[in-house]
């Protein structure tokens, strides 16, 4: 996820690095892998995991509006 690297002429090269920063700021992980068909790269897959807090992690004064925003 090298910042400011792009293979596209109009690309800025910040997309994947920004995604990684967002996921990691939420104590998550991101994984990238190439997809192959008959030995030829045909695409890629990005998977991310972000931990989910249980309802017991919230204080009793937390409202449902605060949880969804």
Write out the residue range of the structural domain in which residue 41 sits.
Answer: 1-51
Residue 68 lies in a domain: no
Model-wide pTM > 0.75: no
In a domain, 15, yes or no: yes
Are 29 and 49 spatial neighbours (Cβ–Cβ below 8 Å)?
yes
Strand residue runs (E) in the chain? 29-37, 40-49
Provide the token pair at 26: 């939420």
**Domain count within the chain:** 1
Whether residue 12 lies inside any domain: the answer is yes
- Residues 6-51: tens digit of each pLDDT: 677 777 667 788 888 999 999 999 998 999 999 998 998 999 999 9
Surface-to-core class of residue 48, CB atoms within 10 Å of its CB (0-12 exposed, 13-18 middle, 19+ buried): middle
Structure tokens at 5: 């690297």
Q: Is residue 58 part of a domain?
A: no
- pLDDT above 70 for 63: no
């Amino acid at each position: 996820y090298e910042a400011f690297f792009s293979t596209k002429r109009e690309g800025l090269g910040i997309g994947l690095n920004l995604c990684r920063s967002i996921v990691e700021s939420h104590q998550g992980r991101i994984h990238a892998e190439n997809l192959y068909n008959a030995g030829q790269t045909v695409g890629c897959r990005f998977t991310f995991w972000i931990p989910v807090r249980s309802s017991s992690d919230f204080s009793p004064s937390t409202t449902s509006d605060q949880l969804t925003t």
